[in-house]
Structure 1
Amino acid sequence: MELRTLRAFVEVVRQGGFSNAAKLLFATQPTISKAVKQLEDELGVPLLDRVGHRSVMTAAGEIVYRRALSMLTEREDLLAELADLRGLKAGSLRLGLPPLGASTLFAPLFAIYRARYPGIEIRLAEHGSKKLEEIVLTGEVEMAASLLPTTDDFEYQPVRCEPLLVVMPKDHPLAGQSKTGIAALAASPFILFESGFALNPVLLAACERNGFTPNVAARSGQVDFIVELVAARLGIAFLPRTIAEQRRTAAVELVLLDEPGTQWHMALVWRRGAYLSHAARAWVDLAREVYGS
């Protein structure tokens, strides 16, 4: 059994089809199809059920997928350990960062890290927190920044904890207040982030605890665009304090969200029990040094 065929099968499942998997692996679609067929022939069972343009895992496929993830992750751990024989003079750090807060929290760390370890290449993946946690578990990245609380699948190092601010139009009835609970905002349309951002479930859970489901007027993955939508009176939005204050304009008002369980608690997370390369440990140590968590 070759890791090449396992990787092809895993990416077909993860990417939702042969075409997307081929693009990710820089291969042709027939090459990926042949690799999966080779794996099926070797194991003697069908792994995928082709339904129209979709491929759905069979029961055997689910078992192979789970085992393949483990085997591929072990390979990445092996390569990381071997790279450590060269210390921090060479190697790479596979790091995942979310769009929200990455520039504020982590850009300063890049400059320090680069100055200390110029031989380490940082391979960066950018996704929402949900996707980042998935690729940490599959070994695509060693660690990622995500919001706490997280699951028992991860170990973590806290980075920053701060409240959320409500970004609202200047003429909103609550503009000028020093703080507000989320229940007082039930009648206001919400502008949320796209699915996959960890801040969304934090806010929706708070709404549910207060007995209402918000009217979602729009979603976006771009902080500046969200603030512009608020300025255009489309609704209200929620941002961590530091990020909100950086985008304060004359057209919006910032009000503290005084609501239990809604703090923005960013941390570095990695797979529980995973081997962390010296490069990754150095990144964690630097975050602890700078932010003192």
Structure 2
Amino acid sequence: MEFRKIEMFVEVVRQQGFSRAAKVLFSTQSTISKAVRQLENELDAPLLDRGAPGIVPTPSGEVVYRRGLRLLAERGDMERELEELQGLAKGTLVLGLPQIGAATLFAPVFAEYRKRFPGIDIRLMEHGSDELEELLRAGRVELAASLLPVSEEFEWLPVRREPLVALLSPDYPQAARKSIRLDALREVPFILFEDGFALNRIILTACRRSGFEPAVIAKSSQIDFICKLAGAGLGAAFLPRIVAERRTSGAVGIIDVEDPHMVWDMAVIWRRGAYRSRAAQAWLDVVRDLYGGQAE
């Protein structure tokens, strides 16, 4: 049984589709489909319920997916441990970074890391926090940045904690205020990030705690576009204050939200108990030097 076939099957389940899996793995849909069929033949068991709508693993497929994640993660650990024999003079560190706040928080870490360890090749994968945690489970990244809280399966090093602020155009009367309760925005449409961004979960949970379900008018993965939509008066958007202050113009107001749960709590995370390469440990050391956190 080849690791590549397991990797393809796992990605099909993760991406909920053959075409999306093919894009992630830089392959073709037919190649992915053929590999999954071959894996089913080798295991003598159907792995996908092809009569169901969407991608639904069979009971056997659930076992292969769960075990496959562990196998791929262990393979990544083995490769990194072997790479340790070369020391920090050269090697590769695969990082997962979010699309929100990465430039603000991690550009200084990159610069310092490159200065200390110029021979280390850093490879980036950029996704929302939920997707990054899945990549971490599969061993496709060694470290990832994600929003707290995270599952007990991960260890973490805090980076920065910022309040979330509302972005509103002057068209809304609430924009004239310096701070606002979240329930004062119940009649305002919301502009959120795409599914898979943990920030959405923080916002929606806070709304439900305040007694309402917001009307979502638009979603995007692009911060600048979301800011433009808010500035054009389409609705309220939400960003960490440190990001909002650097990415917005005078066309949109930045209003504090009076809710202690509306917090963006960024950390670097890794699999609990997994092998951690010296390149990864060195990255954590730089993060700690710059931001002063202690691992949990």
Normalized against structure 2, the TM-score is what? 0.91
Counterpart CA distance in 1 for 2:165 and 2:27 is: 46
Does the aligned pair in 1 maintain the 2:70–2:137 contact within 8 Å? no
Aligned to 1:139: 139
Partner amino acid for 2:7? R
Instruction: Describe how 1:20-31 pairs up with structure 2 within 5 A.
Output: 20-27=20-27, 29-31=29-31
Does the aligned pair in 1 maintain the 2:40–2:47 contact within 8 Å? yes
CA offsets 1:136-173 (integer angstroms, 9 cap, x no match) = 11111111111111111211100000111111112422
Q: Which moved more, 1:137-146 or 1:41-50?
A: 41-50
Partner amino acid for 1:92? T
C-alpha distance 118-170 of structure 1, shift in aligned 2 (>3 A): same
* 1:207 aligns to 2:207 (yes or no): yes
* 1:273 aligns to 2:247 (yes or no): no
Deviation at 1:235, TM superposition (A): 1.0
Counterpart CA distance in 1 for 2:121 and 2:62 is: 34
Counterpart CA distance in 1 for 2:4 and 2:112 is: 37
Aligned to 1:146, what secondary structure does the other structure show?
strand
Deviation at 1:39, TM superposition (A): 2.8
CA offsets 1:6-30 (integer angstroms, 9 cap, x no match) = 2233233334444544454445555
Aligned to 1:104: 104
C-alpha distance 19-233 of structure 1, shift in aligned 2 (>3 A): closer
Aligned to 1:93: 93
Aligned to 1:174, what secondary structure does the other structure show?
helix
Counterpart CA distance in 2 for 1:188 and 1:22 is: 39
Aligned to 1:61: 61
Aligned to 2:230: 230
Instruction: Describe how 1:234-245 pairs up with structure 2 within 5 A.
Output: 234-245=234-245
Aligned residues: 293
Aligned to 2:175, what secondary structure does the other structure show?
coil
Aligned to 2:285: 285
Counterpart CA distance in 2 for 1:251 and 1:52 is: 48
Aligned to 1:14: 14
* 1:162 aligns to 2:150 (yes or no): no
Aligned to 2:174, what secondary structure does the other structure show?
coil
C-alpha distance 230-87 of structure 1, shift in aligned 2 (>3 A): same
Aligned to 1:125: 125
* RMSD of aligned Cα (Å): 2.0
Counterpart CA distance in 1 for 2:290 and 2:83 is: 26
C-alpha distance 18-228 of structure 1, shift in aligned 2 (>3 A): closer
Deviation at 1:118, TM superposition (A): 1.1
Q: Which moved more, 1:167-176 or 1:85-94?
A: 167-176
Normalized against structure 1, the TM-score is what? 0.92
Counterpart CA distance in 2 for 1:173 and 1:128 is: 32
C-alpha distance 78-215 of structure 1, shift in aligned 2 (>3 A): same
Partner amino acid for 2:187? A
Partner amino acid for 1:122? I
Counterpart CA distance in 2 for 1:276 and 1:63 is: 26
Counterpart CA distance in 1 for 2:18 and 2:170 is: 50
Counterpart CA distance in 2 for 1:26 and 1:246 is: 34
Instruction: Describe how 1:178-193 pairs up with structure 2 within 5 A.
Output: 178-193=178-193
Unaligned 5+ runs, structure 2: none
C-alpha distance 58-242 of structure 1, shift in aligned 2 (>3 A): same
Aligned to 1:48, what secondary structure does the other structure show?
coil
Partner amino acid for 2:207? C
Between the aligned residues of both structures, percent identity stands at 56
C-alpha distance 88-232 of structure 1, shift in aligned 2 (>3 A): same
Counterpart CA distance in 2 for 1:24 and 1:171 is: 41
* 1:221 aligns to 2:221 (yes or no): yes
Aligned to 2:149: 149
